Chains A and B, each alone.
Chain A
Amino acid sequence: MGDKPVTGDKPVTSEDHWRITVDATRCIGSGICAGTAPRHFALDGSVSVPLSGDPDEAALDAAESCPVEAIEVRDQSGRVLAPSL
């Protein structure tokens, strides 16, 4: 999975930001992501929305845990960091 992502509250510059998307047509509102990575996801009604692109392992864990693979985490270059296939 490449370099270890930055965790905790170290300041991150915008170049480090990940691009996190939730496919709203797939999301079933399970709330697993919001529970796994509360800084990165919240539920808006019954659909999850990404809140932050701060690089953090918790966001990768959330993408790996989504039962319908609705979450995608990419780095600045567009490389998919999670979910793995």
Chain B
Amino acid sequence: MAVTDDTVLARDYPFSPPHRLDVDELYARLRAEQPVIRVQLPYGERAWLATRYADVRTVLGDPRFSRAASIGRDVPRTNPYQPELGILAMDEPEHGRLRRLATKAFTARRIEALRPRTEQIAAELLDAMAATGQPADLVEHFATPLPIRVICDLLGVPASDQDKFHVWSEAVVSTTSLTPERISEYIGNLHAYIGALLADRRREPASDLLTAMAQARDADPDGPSEDELVAFSAGLLAAGHETTVTQIPNFLYALLTNPGAMERLRGDPALIPSAVEELLRWVPLGAASTFARYALEDVELSGVTVRAGEPVVGSLTSANRDERVFADPDTLDLARHPNPHIGFGHGVHHCAGAQLARMELQVALGALIRRFPGLRLGAGEDELVWKSGMLVRGLTSMPVAW
């Protein structure tokens, strides 16, 4: 079984183009029969793919696997050019030093304090959406502006500039929907914009995260560089945009297309927090897998030896459907408990915005079912248009009626 021979055939990966929120059946077979296989992504060198929960956690959490070692390699990836990934391409201790500039702002306690304001924004947006008449596009009127306003408030980025940076931040999660020239142009614009805001805050401090991060960096001359701070801040802005924005419609779609799910949640809104965790597990957000980790020494994963220097990608989607960990893994069970899903990743790169995203998603679902108890799709399932060429799966628009 333990084949590491390079002549062994690698399967093309992803196995199939993303289709709605369907999970390729091959993952279940691989978990049972061949949990670690050779794959070839559209670009880059060959990789190992791990599909079992335990192995994926090892790949993401064990310091014998490195992100920094991916620098200079022809990294397995879904986009033609190799993006600069900033914090996601660092190992300890550099990674922690950069990330800790922002840790405090994202703790569960601090994020909880933003809940009332988030609820208020959600209510305003839904009132405005109701006024436009039905069917209305949930993506445009609710799912997009809500997380953007929240992250802008938190960072201290003027929401009035959002038309600019919304376009630029798409570059961060684009795979093939933008040309490489466009992507570097947009990322350059975004960095210049953030760099200017940081300079403003040094002159005129405010009570926002950009100020706090600039001050923390200036206080630690051995810490992260200014470029790293700029890229990290831009990353927070972009991530704060593209992920939750996509997940709100995905969650609603999952609730509306899994029989009984929406009724259950309406009947018992106290289920919202556990429903959000279950949806984070069940929705296959990533169109492919996580960023490849490189083995720093030989590591055994389910009987396969990954040699030092070889890259491994872990499938969060497959791990979150592993029958070894989750009973009836394909069933959306809004009351599932315990639910140790890894929808936010695992280990030192565990999503920095996890607590924020959780809070936003809870607020979004709560506000939607309260304001529109009869909420339903405003178009046939076949008329819905899904994104393509992105790192994540999601709807480009979502007509809803109530």
Contacts and interface: CB of A to CB of B under 8 A. Distances in A.
Interface residues of A, number: 20
Interface in B219-241: none
Given A61-B96, A68-B108, A35 B61 contact: yes
A43 B60 CA distance: 13
A48 to B, nearest CB: 11
Interface string B327-361: 00000000000101000101110100011000000
Nearest to A26: B108
Nearest to B111: A67
Contact of B109 (A29, A34, A36, A69): A69
Contacts of A54: none
B100 interface: yes
B232 to A, nearest CB: 15
Interface residues of B, number: 23
Nearest to A38: B63
A48 B179 CA distance: 43
A59 to B, nearest CB: 12
Interface string B181-212: 00000000000000000000000000000000
A64 B103 contact: yes
Nearest to B340: A46
Interface in A12-56: 26, 29-32, 34-36, 38, 43, 45-46
B57 interface: yes
A34 B61 contact: yes
A36 B92 contact: yes
A71 to B, nearest CB: 12
A24 to B, nearest CB: 12
Given A30-B350, A65-B103, A43 B61 contact: yes
Contacts of B93: 58, 61
Contacts of A66: 107
A67 B92 contact: no
B344 A30 contact: yes
B96 A31 contact: no
A69 B108 contact: yes
Given A68-B107, A69-B109, A31 B350 contact: yes
Interface in B49-103: 57, 60-61, 63, 92-93, 96, 99-100, 103
Contact of A34 (B107, B344, B347): B347
A67 B347 contact: no
Nearest to A43: B61
Contacts of B57: 31
B99 A65 contact: yes
A61 B61 contact: no
Nearest to A45: B340
Interface string A53-85: 000001001001111110000000000000000
A61 B63 CA distance: 16
Nearest to A29: B340
B106 interface: yes
B56 to A, nearest CB: 12
A65 B103 CA distance: 6
Contacts of A35: 61, 63, 92, 347-348
A36 B96 contact: yes
A67 B354 contact: yes
Interface of A: 26, 29-32, 34-36, 38, 43, 45-46, 58, 61, 64-69
7 contacts: A30-B346, A30-B354, A31-B60, A35-B348, A61-B96, A68-B107, A68-B108
The 7 A-B pairs at the shortest CB distance, nearest first, are namely A35-B348, A46-B340, A30-B350, A31-B61, A31-B347, A35-B347, A68-B108
